[in-house]
Amino acid sequence: MKLKKFNFKIIKSTNDRAFQIIKNTNNKSGIVIAEKQKRGRGRYGKKWISFKGNLFVSIFFQVNMVQLSLNNLTKINCLLVKKLLSNFYKDKIMVKKPNDLLINNMKISGILQETLSKSDKTFIIVGIGINLIKSPSIKGYLTTNLFDLTGVKISPNNAALKLKKIYETFIPMFPKFNIKNFDRNLK
């Protein structure tokens, strides 16, 4: 499956733009990439701090044919983002349920999943934020970024292209997916 790329300099939120694309076009899948978000958000309407140079993407695709619960889709999406991070960071990366990724007990990434129905079709929108070069200061919550951990600057475009390839490989597997064997499928 190929994800159509939608690139933007500044938008309100990648998830909001994905909603607009689904509602107003016939695109069945895609990846929305932004250099900056003005109103990025996390779960429960929490603000996602969007420093330029970090990664902000939303991947969307139809899920009608997928026989997985949203909880299992969340687990899979966390593991796919973990796979991306492991391209750049070789030590332990933890998934903090339900939707955060941590390195050294500090948040490096968050995922926001939302669904949308259009013409009897259900779409999932997977918003992904990754701290590539700068970490936000969040009271009571430690954060980190890949640059501080590795000393290597990773371009958002490079990370987005790698993530796009990961999803293009794994989305076709979703209909016959066995969550118990997922880690083996990732290798």
Question: What H or E segment, with its residue span, contains residue 77?
Answer: helix 70-86
Q: Taking Cα atoms as reference points, which of 116, 126, 127 lies closest to residue 47?
A: 127
Per-residue pLDDT tens over the stretch 103-134: 999 999 999 999 999 988 999 999 999 999 99
CA–CA gap between residue 129 and residue 127 (Å, rounded): 7
CA 75 distance to own-chain centroid: 12
CA–CA gap between residue 146 and residue 135 (Å, rounded): 9
CA–CA gap between residue 61 and residue 187 (Å, rounded): 23
Per-residue pLDDT tens over the stretch 24-62: 999 999 999 999 998 766 655 666 677 889 999 999 998
Per-residue pLDDT tens over the stretch 126-155: 999 999 999 988 788 899 999 999 999 999
CATH code of the domain occupying 4-186: 3.30.930.10
What's the confidence (pLDDT) of residue 135? Answer: 93
Other beta carbons less than 10 A from residue 64's beta carbon? 10
Edge-first strand order for the sheet with 4-11 is: 4-11, 29-37, 55-62, 121-130, 106-118, 100-103, 94-96
One DSSP character per residue, 87-149 reads TT--S--EEETTTEEEETTEEEEEEEEEEEEETTEEEEEEEEEE-SS----BTTB-B--HHHH
Question: What H or E segment, with its residue span, contains residue 85?
Answer: helix 70-86
CA distances, 23 to each of 44, 118, 122, 147 (Å) = 23, 7, 11, 37
How is residue 45 annotated by DSSP? G
Q: Is 63 helix (H, G, I), strand (E, B) or coil?
A: coil
What's the confidence (pLDDT) of residue 113? Answer: 92
